[in-house]
Amino acid sequence: MVNIKVGVHDIELEVELLRVQDIELGVELLRVHDIELKVELLRVQDIELKVELLRVQDIELEVELLRVQDIELGVELLRVHDIELKVELLRIQDIELMVELLRVQNIELKMELLRVKNIELKVK
């Protein structure tokens, strides 16, 4: 086993990092500088989801994605490449609605549906 420590100061975090079996994933996790974010990433059980989360560049967006409890939904959200759209989707509290919106293939239509939903929420 190769033991590489790259400036990790948090002992619990270091222990968690050493438990990561996938080398590429471990390296990616070490590149994350936000400690709280790193801890959250380590709590994600689904490896593919974790790898996808690490590919997200926007930190606030990543934190929001980690708050999504439904794994399939999280994976679907990660497949959305339009950042503004992803942020809008994450603002929706209604999980069923989010799942439905993610099934819409047309991006412009999806954005329009989100605008309508936002207006409805503001009116209430």
Q: What is the pLDDT of residues 13-54, one digit of tens each?
A: 555 555 555 555 555 655 555 555 655 665 665 556 555 655
Dump the DSSP string for 82-118: -HHHHHHHHH---HHHHHHHHH---HHHHHHHHHHHH
pLDDT value at position 39? Answer: 56
Cα–chain center distance at 89: 12
Instruction: Supply the pTM of this predicted model.
Output: 0.24
Query: Residue 2 gets which letter from DSSP?
Result: -
Largest CA distance in the chain: 58
Contact (CB, 8 A) for 70 and 76: no
Distance CA 102, CA 110 (A): 8
Task: Report pLDDT digits (tens) over 54-112.
Answer: 555 555 555 565 555 555 565 566 566 666 666 666 665 555 666 666 666 566 666 66
- pLDDT at 4 > cutoff 50: no
